[in-house]
Amino acid sequence: MRWTPALAFLLVLMLAACGGSGSGGTDSDGGDGEPTDAAETTDDGNGGNGGDDDGDGNGGNGSSGDLDQLAEDLTPPNSSETSRTTAGTVIFLTFTSTDSPDDLKSFYESAIADTGLEVFSTTSTQGTYSWIFGVDEGDGSGGIVTVSPDPNGGGSQVGVQVGTGE
C-alpha cells in the first residue's frame, strides 16, 4: 500500500508528541478539558528558536512558534482552513483550495524546499500527491503533506501534518 510510509511517519510523529519530555506528562488538552489550539501551545524549553543541534545549519523547529510558522509556510494558496488540531508538538491541518492538485504540486515542491527541510519521499497516485519531509531522517521532526482532487468539484483537498521529535 502506497500510504504505508506516510502513515508510519505520522505514527512516529504522534508517538514522539505523546511520549515527550518534561513535567507536564502527555496531557494534550492543556489540563482544562478544552482542546489545545496553537495559541495555547507553549515552548517546553527544548530549543527555543529551534537551535541547531546537529551542525547542519537547518536549526529545526524547536518551539511552538517555529512549528506555527512552518504550518503557515505550508498553507496552500487560494485556500480555506477546514480544520486545525494541535496535539503536543504536532499540528494537523486540512484545507480546501481552488487550485488544482498539479498547481499545488508545484507550490509544495518549492515551499518545502524553502523551509530548509529535506524531502524523504514523494508519492503520486491517481492525481494525489504526498511528501514526507523533515530535518533529518532519524530526528522525528518534519511532516507530511497530501494533496488530492476535491471530490466535490474543481480544486483540491490538502492535509498538512507537522511536528517535532521532542
| Domain covering 90-166: architecture | 2-Layer Sandwich (3.30)
The domain spans of the chain are 90-166
Q: How many CA atoms lie within 13 A of 87 on its CB side?
A: 14
Phi first, then psi: give them for residue 101, nearest 5 degrees: -55, -35
Phi first, then psi: give them for residue 5, nearest 5 degrees: -60, -40
Question: Which candidate, 64, 104, 117, places its Cα nearest to that of 95?
Answer: 104
Q: Specify the pTM.
A: 0.63
pLDDT of residue 152: 87
Per-position pLDDT tens, the chain of length 166: 333 344 344 443 333 333 333 333 333 344 444 443 433 333 333 333 333 333 333 344 344 568 899 999 999 999 999 999 999 999 999 999 999 999 999 999 999 999 999 999 999 999 999 999 998 766 678 999 999 999 988 899 999 999 987 7
Burial of 120 (0-12, 13-18, 19+ CB in 10 A): middle
Strands (E), the chain: 79-87, 90-97, 118-125, 128-134, 142-149, 156-163
Cell of 37: 489550539
pLDDT of residue 58: 38
pLDDT of residue 53: 36
Q: 65 near 128, Cβ under 8 Å?
A: no
| Gyration radius from the chain CA atoms | 16
Which amino acid does the sequence have at 118? E
pLDDT of residue 69: 92
